[in-house]
Structure 1
Amino acid sequence: MTTLKRFQYLILAAGLTLTSCSSDDDATQNLTGDNNLRIEFDNSVNGDDLLLDSSTYTNSNSEVLTINRFNYIVSNFVLIDTEGNEFTYPKDDSYFIISEEADLSEVTLTNIPAGDYVAVRFGLGVDQEKYLQGAEGQGDLLQLAEETDMMWSWLAGYKFLNFEGSFTSPTVSEATDFKIHMGSHGSSLDNYKEFTLELPTNALVSSNLSPIVHLAVDANQILDGNTKILLSEKAVVMVDEVKSPQIATNAAAMFRVDHVHNGENIEH
């Protein structure tokens, strides 16, 4: 390469770098207005798609599961930007039921202020503050919970998780029903959990940018997480002072951000 051509190449490379940096800067500095942010929940079992009633899944306890229900409540969403500022979604609108059988798999957060968001925090279940507002303070959540079998009764409270099906194991040869229901039972057994998920790609919100955050949700974590829950020992877990908190901790670890899609959308 001649000296002149080498010089021309360096000038071109520098120009491309400046242009790229300028484009990135423009994308974040011109974030104004507000828009929606959508969160999609893709339910799976240890990397395989969750298919109700039709597939079997084997966990590390050598239990073979057929799943016919997988519902849970997510709530109290908070978005965190690059500066550490937090936007708390309005509490009265921040409770959603995800249900595989009812085809409820998305949460749409509306009127999110423009920003460059790096993490999302939310809860699994319904916090005591919300429950103590009484039946009249639950809004649409109460009716939807009743329709999707996410309540025991108003007195007993919400089911934060409803995980049901049948199983066999080395010690259980005939298919046996299992029911894993987890929730809070008064102030003495509060199983509501909050956690923060970092985004692999920043979610950009502006008047013409409406991102989608795609979560991979692994139902296998419920029984096969940090604490192993053996269905062959107890196939029905609803109110259990030992196992219910263990299941709550396991279930809180089933959420992972798979990817973020920053797309243009000016309708909000």
Structure 2
Amino acid sequence: MKLNKYAWIAMLALSIVSCSSNDDEAISGEGNLIVEFDNAYAGSDLLLNASTYNAVDTEKIKISAVKYIVSNIKLEDENGHVYTVPKNESYFIVDESSESSQMIDLSGVPAGNYTKITYGIGVDQEKYLEGAEGQGDFLTQAQEAGMMWSWQAGYKFLVYEGVYTSENTTAETAFAFHMGSHGSSVDNYKEVSLTFPTIARVRTDLSPIVHVVVDLDHILNGTTQFMLDDASQIHVDAVKSPQIATNASGMFTVHHIHN
């Protein structure tokens, strides 16, 4: 019986070592991680030009365009190690009218168990100050997507457009929120950090999807409330645009992870 007992212990120890070895092998190398941006409104799926949503007070809106810039993505694993996506590969435009733009595929991510993501909304001053030549292909992408006023005026970090009605405005009236930085005087670039509800397991043969829900209700109804009757066209405003930037930075939540 003792021999059988010791043999069982030896087999268990060998099994543990083998599992540990397999785990070490499983988390070596590189893989992909996909970040999915799922635009919504107050818990409902976002439908452009179709659904009417409650805004602030009696105002109701119908949304026609939603675009925003996501940049400078960093991933943190369970041990606190941070992987930073190379800067020149880390600028993306999420456009509700383009389904493919809502899935950001990050390649070359070190295999690991990731628990947190950090990214910027907009283009940081460091990148902008590299000049037009330093923007690479992203400058052309932004121009084609309507995400720039001009090179001198800078990038639009957020485009949010549609029509609204209210108790006082019964006819559908256009609104447009275009938010960006204002030179070096007003920097509206915001960083967002989100903790995952479960681990995202990046492996050479496993590409997790981080499902981020983006609640656009926060743009008008966040830290600062905006009544469209008071401000139906907000493009460049050194007072309101920082408030819009703060509202927009609060609209992101990691809903779940697909491993």
Provide the TM-score with structure 2 as the length reference.
Answer: 0.89
- The correspondence of residues 205-216 of structure 1 with structure 2, limited to 5 A, is 205-216=202-213
Counterpart AA for 1:212 = I
1:85 and 2:74 equivalent?
no
1:120 and 2:80 equivalent?
no
CA distance in 2, matches of 1:44, 1:23: 42
SS at match of 1:70: strand
Which residues of structure 1 form unaligned runs of 5+? 1-18, 263-268
Q: Is the 8 A contact 2:56 2:220 kept in 1?
A: no
* Number of residue pairs matched by the alignment: 242
Percent of counterpart pairs with the same letter?
Answer: 51
Aligned pair in 2 of structure 1 residues 70, 23: CA closer, same or farther (>3 Å)? farther
Name the residue aligned to 2:31: 35
Instruction: Let me know the Cα RMSD of the aligned residues.
Output: 1.8
Offset at 1:102? 3.0
Offset at 1:62? 2.2
Offset at 1:60? 3.6
Aligned pair in 2 of structure 1 residues 70, 207: CA closer, same or farther (>3 Å)? same
Name the residue aligned to 1:254: 251
Name the residue aligned to 1:266: none
Offset at 1:26? 5.9
Provide the TM-score with structure 1 as the length reference.
Answer: 0.86
Q: Is the 8 A contact 1:41 1:215 kept in 2?
A: yes
CA distance in 1, matches of 2:105, 2:48: 24
1:178-234 Cα deviation digits (max 9, x unpaired): 000000011101000002100011111121221111110111110011110111101
Counterpart AA for 2:120 = G
Name the residue aligned to 2:4: none
Offset at 1:24? 10
Name the residue aligned to 1:199: 196
Counterpart AA for 2:54 = T
Counterpart AA for 1:193 = K
Which residues of structure 2 form unaligned runs of 5+? 1-14
Counterpart AA for 1:226 = T
SS at match of 2:171: strand
Which 4+ residue blocks in structure 1 deviate beyond 4 angstroms? 22-29
SS at match of 1:194: strand
Bigger Cα displacement from structure 2, 137-146 vs 38-47: 137-146
Q: Is the 8 A contact 1:34 1:113 kept in 2?
A: yes
SS at match of 1:173: coil
Counterpart AA for 1:40 = E
